[in-house]
Each structure stands twice: as C-alpha cells, then as structure tokens.
Amino acid sequence: MNILFYHPTFNPESWVNGLAQRLPQAQVRVWQPGDDAPADYALVWQPPREMLANRSGLKGIFALGAGVDAILAQERQAPGTLPAGVPLLRLEDTGMAQQMREYVLAYVLRFFRRMDEYQLQQQQKQWQPLKPHRQERFTIGIMGAGVLGQQVAQALVALGFTVRCWSRSPKQIAGVESFHGRENLPAFLHETRLLVNLLPNTPETVGILDLALMKQLASQAYLINAARGAHLKEGDLLTALEQGQVAAAALDVFADEPLARMHPFWSHPRVTVTPHIAAVTLPSQAMDQIAANIRAIEQGGTPSGQVDRERGY
Ligand SMILES: NC(=O)C1=CN([C@@H]2O[C@H](COP(=O)(O)OP(=O)(O)OC[C@H]3O[C@@H](n4cnc5c(N)ncnc54)[C@H](OP(=O)(O)O)[C@@H]3O)[C@@H](O)[C@H]2O)C=CC1
Ligand SMILES: O=C(O)C(=O)CO
C-alpha cells in the first residue's frame, strides 16, 4: 500500500514516520513535484492540482483538517484537484473539540463577566463596577451542531447557560434546544444574546453572518466566530458594532488570512482577534483516526468522516 503526504507547513518527517508506525505494511512518502508513481491514499492540505489530477487507483483522500471548504474551492477553480469518485474524508474531532470548547468557553466567560469592558476600563485607570449580566438573560446560540458544536453546547450547559443550537437536521442534545433549517433561523436568533458560529463554509452558509442576521439577535449581542472568515460580512459587523446591535466580537477566522495590517479589526476596541488557533490539527490523534479509516477501507468497511462534496461538508 502506498500513501502520499502533502502539507505546505507541517513537518513531513514526523507524519511519514508516524503513519509508517501505525500502518507497517504501507510505504509512505512525501509528494514532490513530478511524482506520479502509484498511490492508494493521499493525505493533503492545499494540494497542488498536479499531485492528484491524473491519478487512478486512489482509494481515499484525507484532508488534514476538519473543514474542507478550501480543498473543495480548489476543486472548483482547478477541476481535477480531487479526482472524481474518490472518497474525500476529513478529521472528526481528533482533539479539536477539546480545544474548541476551551476557546469558546474562554470568550463566553470573558463577555459574560464583562472582562472585555474591565480591560478597557483598566486602560483608562477607571474603577467602575458594572452591572453583571444575568445567566437567565444570556441565551447562547450555537450555529452548527456537528462534531464541534455539540461538544461546545454540552460544556456551556454544564456551566449553567441556556443553550440553543441550529443545524440542518434536528438534534437531541441533553439540555439544548434544537432548531433546524432556514425556516427556523429567525426563531433561533430571537433572544440569542451570544452567538457562536461553528458552521462549515458551504454555498449555503457563506456570508450568513450579515447585518440582517445580527439585527435579529438580542440587542447588545456578542459574536464568536470560530468557523470560517467567509461566513462573516466584515463590514456588516463594523456597522453592527457602531450601532450597538453587537456589543463585542471574538474572531478567530477572517476572509483573508493573515489579517491585513491595516484591517480595522486589529485596533477596534470591541473586537478580539486571534490568528486561526481555536482548534489545530493534533498530529498523533489525526494519524490514529486516518490509520483506522485506512484499515476500515482495506477491510471493506465504512470509514468515518466522509465528505458529501455536493453538500460541501
Ligand atoms: N477556527 C478553527 O481553528 C477551526 C475551525 N473549524 C471549522 O468548524 C467547522 C465545523 O466543524 P465540525 O463541527 O467538525 O463540522 P460538522 O460537519 O461535524 O458540523 C457541521 C454542522 O453544521 C450544520 N450545517 C451545515 N450546513 C448547514 C446549513 N446550511 N444550515 C444549518 N446548519 C448547517 C450541520 O448540520 P447537520 O448536523 O444537520 O448536518 C452540522 O450540525 C469546520 O467546517 C471548520 O470550518 C474546525 C476546526 C478548527
Ligand atoms: O481543521 C480545520 O478546519 C481548521 O480550521 C484548523 O485550524
């Protein structure tokens, strides 16, 4: 069995060695331009088109992250990047849910306890206790109730928050009110005080965080965007902040990354910027999952994490 690896920034040696340990029967190699020797599986992030376009015999392509929007966009721009008919698989959790829980909880508590405002007051040497937010008036809405969204929701319920989620299909998550489908989006947004975005970036969700949506939230709402920058209409957020519709935002992802030095978010007093670190790929857990999926395919079983290319996630 031959496995190809390509990632623009990961240390290839540790991946090649780690995969070889987990799949002793496999020959694992780092793809180099010009390499068109046979391969059964490919592990990729931002693969050049020539890596996979003319290959036959591939049994699976593993994206080295949870979100596959970038690789599907590559395919749209350069057809053949993902050869037709080959299953595309993504990482499911592999330690990202724990990281995402930490990220979202950190900002929920920062906003709920008004730490962001106290930080601004400290800069003014201002000693001014603020009226505390009350949990019963601080409903948290999570857009996207998949692998990450569900775990974040459960962690917030455990802290005593009122939590609702929105997804395509209905969910049953203990203590969480489930809304689904476009028709129920207004009901989900109504009275949501803090909105967490954990949707995949698809043709249906791109630009979903716009002014019209923000206006449906409770006034002085908070936004945490830890999914993709393409979800957010950045100018609309600036308007909503200016109008007081949105009180503050924590943003991990941006339309253009790295965020341009001149971007207004950097210095906005009510915006917190992090450099796409909410949940990163943990090599060891990712390799465990990929190796298990390869074994499943080899044994005629069904691997997990298969992407529906039409749906976009
Ligand atoms: N900032 C960071 O560091 C990271 C960001 N991410 C981002 O988080 C995203 C979510 O990851 P993950 O939880 O693993 O993904 P999943 O595919 O497990 O979950 C996606 C959720 O979104 C819902 N959804 C999709 N399309 C729609 C729609 N049109 N309307 C309503 N709901 C919709 C799905 O509904 P249903 O369940 O009904 O299918 C599902 O509940 C990734 O796609 C990635 O972009 C991921 C990792 C790290
Ligand atoms: O896995 C993903 O989709 C990420 O965004 C990792 O940072």
Site residues for ligand 1, CB cut-off 6 Å:
66-67, 96, 144-149, 166-169, 198-202, 204-205, 226-228, 252-253, 276, 278-279, 313
CA distance 34 to 49: 12
Q: Are residues 115 and 261 located together in one domain of the fold?
A: yes
Q: Residue 310 falls within a domain, yes or no?
A: no
Q: Residue 260 falls within a domain, yes or no?
A: yes
Average of pLDDT values for 217-235?
A: 98
Site residues for ligand 2, CB cut-off 6 Å:
65-67, 276, 279-281
Q: Are residues 192 and 232 located together in one domain of the fold?
A: yes
Q: Residue 81 falls within a domain, yes or no?
A: yes
Using CA positions, which residue lies closest to atom 1 of ligand 2?
65
pLDDT digits (tens, 9 = 90+) for 29-38: 999 999 999 9
Q: For position 229, which CATH number holds?
A: 3.40.50.720
CA of 242 to the centre of ligand 2 (A): 30
CA distance 107 to 46: 30
Q: Residue 125 falls within a domain, yes or no?
A: yes
| High-pLDDT (> 70) share of the chain, % | 100
Q: Are residues 257 and 288 located together in one domain of the fold?
A: no
Q: Are residues 79 and 103 located together in one domain of the fold?
A: no
Exposure string over 116-127, b if 16+ CB within 10 A, otherwise e: bbeeeeeeeeee
CA of 159 to the centre of ligand 2 (A): 26
Q: Residue 124 falls within a domain, yes or no?
A: yes
Q: Residue 306 falls within a domain, yes or no?
A: no
CA of 20 to the centre of ligand 1 (A): 31
Which pLDDT value is given to residue 237? 99
Q: Are residues 252 and 294 located together in one domain of the fold?
A: no
pLDDT digits (tens, 9 = 90+) for 138-184: 999 999 999 999 999 999 999 999 999 999 999 999 999 999 999 99
Average pLDDT score over the chain: 97
- Structure token pair of residue 98: 């724990």
Q: Are residues 58 and 106 located together in one domain of the fold?
A: no
Residue 49 appears among annotated catalytic residues: no
Which pLDDT value is given to residue 54? 87
Q: Are residues 49 and 132 located together in one domain of the fold?
A: no
Q: Are residues 163 and 233 located together in one domain of the fold?
A: yes
pLDDT band at 241 (very low <50, low <70, confident <90, very high): very high
Q: Are residues 238 and 285 located together in one domain of the fold?
A: no
Q: Are residues 122 and 257 located together in one domain of the fold?
A: yes
CA of 228 to the centre of ligand 1 (A): 10
pLDDT band at 25 (very low <50, low <70, confident <90, very high): very high
| High-pLDDT (> 90) share of the chain, % | 99
Which pLDDT value is given to residue 16? 98
The domain tally of the chain equals: 2
ipTM: 0.99
Q: What DSSP state is assigned to residue 105?
A: H
Q: Are residues 260 and 210 located together in one domain of the fold?
A: yes
**Residue 290 pLDDT exceeds 90:** yes
Which pLDDT value is given to residue 28? 98
Q: Residue 239 falls within a domain, yes or no?
A: yes
Q: Which domain holds residue 155?
A: 96-273
Extract the runs of DSSP E, i.e. beta strands, from 234-298: 246-251, 271-273
Q: Are residues 88 and 105 located together in one domain of the fold?
A: no
Residue 7 appears among annotated catalytic residues: no
